[in-house]
Amino acid sequence: MEKFVIHGTGPLEGSVRISGAKNAALPIMCATILTKDKITLEDVPELKDVTLLTEVLRGLGVKIEHPEPNTYIFDASEITNTTTGADLMSKMRASFCVMGPLIGRMGRTENSLPGGCAIGTRPIDLHLKGFRALGCSVRTEHGMVCAKTDHLKGSTVYLDFPSVGATENIMMAAVLADGETTIDNAAMEPEIVDLSNFLNKMGAQVRGAGTSTIKIKGVKELHGCRHQIIPDRIEAGTYMVAVAATGGNINIENVITSHMRPVIAKLKEAGVEIYENGDTINVISNGTIESFDIKTLPYPGMPTDMQAQFMALATLAKGTSVIIETVFENRFMHVDELNRMGANIRIDGKNAIVQGVHKLRGGKVRATDLRCGAALVIAALTVDGKTEIEDIYHIERGYENLIEKLEGLGAHVVREG
């Protein structure tokens, strides 16, 4: 079994460069389906999820070159297939983002229901509501979702919740629709803005991304372009929380600081010193953590993808912290694992009550999902002794060169198995 073996080493020191954002790269890779021209993407993180999505896209007929690390060239001149089966779909929820572009380009798509991290029920009703509004007939049967239209037409879609994936899927279908589409209560995440910027470089007419109302004027066709993926705000936040927990002084390079507002604010509340300088953030911690409360919310609120890491930090805070998860149900699977390391966390519905302890202890734990894995890595870095983290494939879905980056900061992490 593959695992990380981590020996706590005290304060982290040094610099780390943040990779391109996984959650921006995945939908943008799907959007390459929308043109017959070649697309070059730069700063694509080398991650399992990216490799899986290249398999999904190749299965549809997209030719993909990988001339150098982090650069991919997509050629969707011929789409030979509009179906993705359960084998690939079940491995990664983001592969569902091929549906919008396939509807836009081909007027049809058939997909197995998506997989991904087991965090809550994660329905797809909002995606389907959007496709229906654009004139698709949508059927779900035998674990497959089939959407079809002869005439994709602009429309108004109200999202009952600002779903990131639904906003992206509807945007990608609507760029080639006849007429104007409005998405109300759209997600405002930076990854939506990156997708919008990319689509507009291809010749689309998308306005308002980053606000709760997105307007898309359909165009006849899109063309090729080159695009650099934005830095990963969750990866940056994870390293910031890690140094807060271990103590130390690190520079986080290649960040868009405006994307980091909730993380910066919360770390300052916890007593961490943070200095912003262009695209670098300097984080200094003496390892003493004040307790803090967190409520996850859609952007610009605290990202749910940072909840587990902040919980790892709260386990070592002076006093009691309350963490409320409002975005996903059942996103507390890291609690049992952190408690196994000596944390004192109690769940009450959507709330986790974290009573800080002086020290965590090592042992064997399991990454139950991607951000749980990140939280366990942070916890392990603070332990006097050895921690073994199993099921690390979850962690490798989302963190590029994690071992090299942590070693560059002075940590001792070995991958075994």
Which residues make up the interface to ligand UD1 (CB under 6 A)?
23, 26, 93-94, 120-127, 161, 163-166, 187, 191, 304-305, 327-328
Question: How many CB atoms lie under 10 A from the CB of residue 65?
Answer: 12
SS3 320: strand
The residues near 163 (Cβ < 8 Å, ≥ 6 apart) are 126, 127, 187
Please say whether the beta carbons of 333 and 311 come within 8 A.
no
Contact assessment for residue 252 and residue 264, using Cβ atoms and an 8 Å cutoff: no
Q: Based on CB atoms, which residue is closest to ligand UD1, 50 or 376?
A: 50
Phi, psi torsion values for 143, nearest 5 degrees: 75, 5
**For residues 34 and 308, which CB has a smaller minimum distance to ligand UD1 in the complex?**
308
Using CA atoms, how far apart are residues 373 and 358, in angstroms rounded to an integer? 22
Nearer to ligand UD1, 166 or 335 (CB): 166
CB 388 within 8 A of CB 364: yes
Establish whether 117 is a catalytic residue. yes
For the bound state, the minimum distance from the C-beta of residue 158 to ligand UD1, rounded and expressed in Å, comes to 13
Q: Minimum CB separation from ligand UD1 for residue 167, in Å?
A: 8
Rounded Cα–Cα distance for residues 198 and 192 (Å) = 10
Q: Minimal distance in Å, beta carbon 330 to ligand UD1?
A: 10
Q: Which is nearer to ligand UD1, 97 or 317 (CB)?
A: 97
User: Which residue's Cβ has the minimum distance to ligand UD1?
Assistant: 165
| Residue 122 beta carbon to ligand UD1: minimum distance, rounded to whole angstroms | 4
One DSSP character per residue, 323-349 reads: EE--SSTT--THHHHHHHTT-EEEEET
CB nearer to ligand UD1: give 122 or 405: 122
| Burial class, 281, CB count within 10 angstroms (exposed 0-12 / middle 13-18 / buried 19+) | buried
Closest to ligand UD1 by CB, 124 or 377: 124
Residue 21's contacts (CB-CB under 8 Å, 6 or more residues apart) are 45, 190, 191, 194, 229, 230, 231, 232, 233, 234, 235
CB 71, min distance to ligand UD1, A: 21
Q: How far is the CB of 119 from ligand UD1 (least distance, A)?
A: 7
Taking alpha carbons only, the member of 107, 93, 298 closest to residue 186 is 298
Catalytic residue among 30, 97, 117, 136, which?
117
* Dist CA 209 CA 192 (whole Å): 6
Which token pair is 116? 């991904």
Q: Which residues are catalytic?
A: 117
